[in-house]
Amino acid sequence: MQNRVTGNKNTGWLPPFLWKYKWALLIAAMLGGIVAYSATLFVPNKYEATAVVYAAGGGSDNQMVMKQGNTLILLQFLKSSFLRDRAIEAYNLVNHYDIDTGNAQGKATLIQRYTSNVNFERTLYKSVRIKVTDKDPEFAARLANGIVRLSNDVKKHIISTNKKENLQAIAQNYHDKQQEVDSLAEDLRAFNQQATTQALAKLNGRLKEVKDDIHHLRTNLRNIREKLRIHDLNHHLDQAKERYNQAKSKYQLEEGKLAAYRKELPAGDSAVIHVEASVQGLKSQLQELEERLKTYSKHEDRYNKLIQDLALKLELRNNLEKRIATLSNSFEPTVESIEILTKKKKLNAEMERLKQLKKKYEQAIALFEKPQRAAYMVSRAVSNPEPVSPKTLLITLAGAVLMFLLTLGVLLVRKHKLPASS
């Protein structure tokens, strides 16, 4: 209760005080409002125009799709110095704001004026609101829509430039790889041709050796045939064996007949004499045939060896001649070697990479030639004849309240000083 009474005593003086100086405070508030209102008459009106931009990208179904990430990118792009400079140039804001940009201070003033008059803010609906304030409502709407148009044009230009640079980079990689593959193919062809030349020289040298061996074998066979006076040793050997066996059988038969005749007939009988002569002739024939067989058998192994070697050499000569003909007459002669196979493997691998780069290059061309869709969906700005500044009523009320409080403060100071001075 004591505190409540004390509180009333401390504040009870205020209502009588205000009532005492009511006319002074009222006149001061009116004068403050009049001064503030008069000040607004010297401030030019400013008008606001608003455009709403949806940062939409393309979906898989070719429809416009809005994403939060697109909005952030668009907001950064709209606030970029690049777009700001384009807007200043396109709408001649230097003359519109009547700023001398001949020095650094003028340029800074121009940028500050643009920044204060053009604002960007993100909305709750994944869009960006562009607000432009200006002394001309038509110009404010035109600048807001122009910024949207410039952002679209610049975005398309940037995308087109990036696609062009991407296409040029891919094309350069593709052409470089193509030259590399051509160089590898030429290197392989030259190396193959060199290897083929070396192989032909080696094959011709080997063919000459084989032909020399064939000539030597034929000379040895000819010498044996001339020495034995036969053409085919094996044939004559078989005939000699057959004749020897026949003569031997006949000799044994005649010898048995002679033994029987000698037992039964007298020694001077003509039959005995005839058989004896026949046995003697057969014996001489057997001896001759046996000597011939020995001579033939003596040369048989060497003769057959020469025949076999000659057959092998003739087959080798024919194979060499076919190989030489193939290397000499084919369109792309090739000699398979480890080094050539390695080069072929590398060439095939690079050709596969070239194939992949070609596919990527064709995709880049298709993307570059694909027409650009509209970058954004826009709610256009329209001119608003109602000024947004200065706020005449608000400024007037603020002036009146300020002057009222200022006068009240002065009176309170004066009230507290009077008792002290008396």
CATH code of 47-173+373-384, in short, is 3.30.1890.10
What amino acid occupies position 378? V
- Are 47 and 140 a contacting pair, CB within 8 Å? yes
pLDDT at residue 222 greater than cutoff 80: yes
pLDDT at residue 392 greater than cutoff 70: no
The predicted pLDDT at position 315 comes to: 92
Confidence class for position 375, pLDDT limits 50, 70, 90: low
pLDDT at residue 88 greater than cutoff 60: yes
The predicted pLDDT at position 6 comes to: 46
> With the CA atoms of 399, 403, 404 and 409 taken in that order, what torsion angle do they form, in degrees rounded to the nearest 10?
140
The predicted pLDDT at position 24 comes to: 75
Q: Please state, for a pLDDT cut of 70, what percent of the chain lies above it.
A: 82
Q: For residue range 151-187, what is the model confidence (pLDDT) as tens digits?
A: 888 777 777 777 888 888 888 888 888 888 888 788 7
Confidence class for position 192, pLDDT limits 50, 70, 90: confident
How crowded is residue 280: how many other Cβ atoms within 10 Å of its Cβ? 13
Q: For residue range 22-35, what is the model confidence (pLDDT) as tens digits?
A: 787 778 778 776 77
CA–CA separation, 281 and 260 (whole Å): 18
The predicted pLDDT at position 20 comes to: 74
Strand partners, 119: 131
Rg for the chain (alpha carbons), in Å?
62
Pairwise pLDDT comparison (369 vs 67), residue with the higher score:
369
* Average pLDDT over every residue of 262-288: 82
* Average pLDDT over every residue of 342-347: 82
The predicted pLDDT at position 65 comes to: 47
Query: Closest Cα to residue 382, out of 24, 50, 115?
Result: 50
Query: Closest Cα to residue 26, out of 412, 403, 399, 394?
Result: 403
- Are 200 and 324 a contacting pair, CB within 8 Å? yes
Q: Got the DSSP string for 31-90?
A: HHHHHHHHHHTTSPPBEEEEEEEE-EEE-TTS-EEE-HHHHHHHHHHHTSHHHHHHHHHH
The predicted pLDDT at position 59 comes to: 47
What amino acid occupies position 303? Y
From 66-80, 86-100, 288-302, the region with the lowest mean pLDDT? 66-80
The predicted pLDDT at position 373 comes to: 57
From 21-30, 55-64, 89-98, 135-144, the region with the lowest mean pLDDT? 55-64
* Average pLDDT over every residue of 281-289: 85
Decide: helix, strand or coil at residue 320.
Answer: helix
CA–CA separation, 189 and 194 (whole Å): 8
User: What mean pLDDT is reported for the chain?
Assistant: 78
Query: What fold, for 191-350?
Result: Helix Hairpins (1.10.287)
CA–CA separation, 270 and 299 (whole Å): 44
Burial (0-12, 13-18, 19+ Cβ within 10 Å), 29: buried
Q: For residue range 28-60, what is the model confidence (pLDDT) as tens digits?
A: 778 776 776 666 555 566 778 888 888 765 444
Domain ranges across the chain:
47-173+373-384, 191-350
